[in-house]
């Protein structure tokens, strides 16, 4: 069984400040981990993913995340927030094969000018 916990349903940062969105997972098999972003009334857009190999993964829009097995974490970061980053962010986990994605509850990011 797999699960995802996103700490903080709402995170607010100033424009230009560091963005840190936390995600911890639970998985009985080696996990595949994902971050998606959702803008209002839209579907989800893949930001980045970890499958195997390098534990620091870079995604679109300047985001990156680091897989830390010892901490069962996959936190999302961006050095400098931009107003356009304001959105809902979802962390998700899946196993191999055709297992569906399991999503966290989401974190709403607000960026203050």
Partner 1 sequence: GAVVSQHPSRVICKSGTSVKIECRSLDFQATTMFWYRQFPKQSLMLMATSNEGSKATYEQGVEKDKFLINHASLTLSTLTVTSAHPEDSSFYICSARLPGPSVPGTQYFGPGTRLTVL
Site string for partner 1, 43-82 (x = CB under 8 A): xxxx--x-x-------------------------------
CA–CA separation, 28 vs 88, rounded Å?
27
The residue from 42, 55, 61, 80 that contacts partner 1 (CB under 8 A) is 42
Cα distance between residue 107 and residue 99, in whole Å: 24
How many Å apart are CA 17 and CA 34, to the nearest integer? 23
Regarding 104 and contact with partner 1 (CB under 8 A), the answer is yes
Q: Are 63 and 76 a contacting pair, CB within 8 Å?
A: yes
The distance of closest approach from Cβ of residue 16 to partner 1 in the complex, given in angstroms and rounded to an integer, is 27
Which spans of this chain sit near partner 1 (rule: CB under 8 A)? 32, 34, 36, 41-46, 49, 51, 90, 94-96, 98-101, 103-106, 108
């Amino acid at each position: 069984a797999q699960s995802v916990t996103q700490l903080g349903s709402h995170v607010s940062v100033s424009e230009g400040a560091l963005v840190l969105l936390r995600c911890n997972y639970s998985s009985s098999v080696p996990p595949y981990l994902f971050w998606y972003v959702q803008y209002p009334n839209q579907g989800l857009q893949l930001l980045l993913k970890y499958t195997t190999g390098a534990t620091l993964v870079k995604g679109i829009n300047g985001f990156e995340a680091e897989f830390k097995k010892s901490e069962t974490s996959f936190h999302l970061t961006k050095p400098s927030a931009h107003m356009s980053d304001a959105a809902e962010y979802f962390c998700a986990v899946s196993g191999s094969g055709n297992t569906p994605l399991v999503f966290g509850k989401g974190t709403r990011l607000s960026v203050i000018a």
